[in-house]
Amino acid sequence: MTLALAPRRTVLADFVPGALVRDLGLIAAGAVFTGLAAQVVLPIPGSPVPLTGQTFAALLVGASLGWQRGATSMLLYLIAGVAGVPWFQGGSSGVPVSLGYVVGFVFAGALVGYLAGRGGDRTPVRVIGTMVLGNLVIYSVGVPWLMAMTGMSFAKAAAVGVLPFLLGDALKIALAAGVLPGAWALLRRR
């Protein structure tokens, strides 16, 4: 079975006037938004990785900005945090044990932005599929990083770095499934 995607459409950020200045501002704003969302932290007992709002923000940024701006925004978030900007989970910076998930944001931002540019953000069902794929990308980078940083087995890393987050991810995806199509509905009314 092949997945037929619609030709590239605009993403939400394309409705903001300007070009280079707009793109730079949106990239910076996406990184800042993700940094602010990272301050929403719920520790997970037994896991070195807390539940934060940054995954939701990273995927929303990717969908809203498109693949190039979304990935660049998440790369800026990553580089600035490693360089010392205290905007990783709970105001931390540097190289936390959960940094692999942040590296995954870059790839997820690109994938989600790509899919959004092909209509993956227009309906709740499409948003759910788009966001599930984005989360899978984040986990595919975050779990091996967690294993490397802690010496955990794959089973243990999945048990503490994936399973406790599935309910929160489902809630974030449900929220995105309302927000993104809702934003498109508002734009169509203009």
User: What's the total number of domains in the chain?
Assistant: 1
pLDDT band of residue 5 (cuts 50, 70, 90) is low
% of the chain at pLDDT higher than 70:
92
* pTM, entire model: 0.86
DSSP H stretches of helix in 5-120: 20-37, 54-65, 67-83, 99-116
pLDDT band of residue 10 (cuts 50, 70, 90) is confident
Tokens 């990308």, located at residue: 137
pLDDT (average), residues 121-147: 96
Which domain range does residue 21 map to? 17-189
Could you tell me if residue 93 is inside a domain? yes
Mean pLDDT over all residues of the chain?
Answer: 89
pLDDT (average), residues 104-128: 96
Could you tell me if residue 9 is inside a domain? no
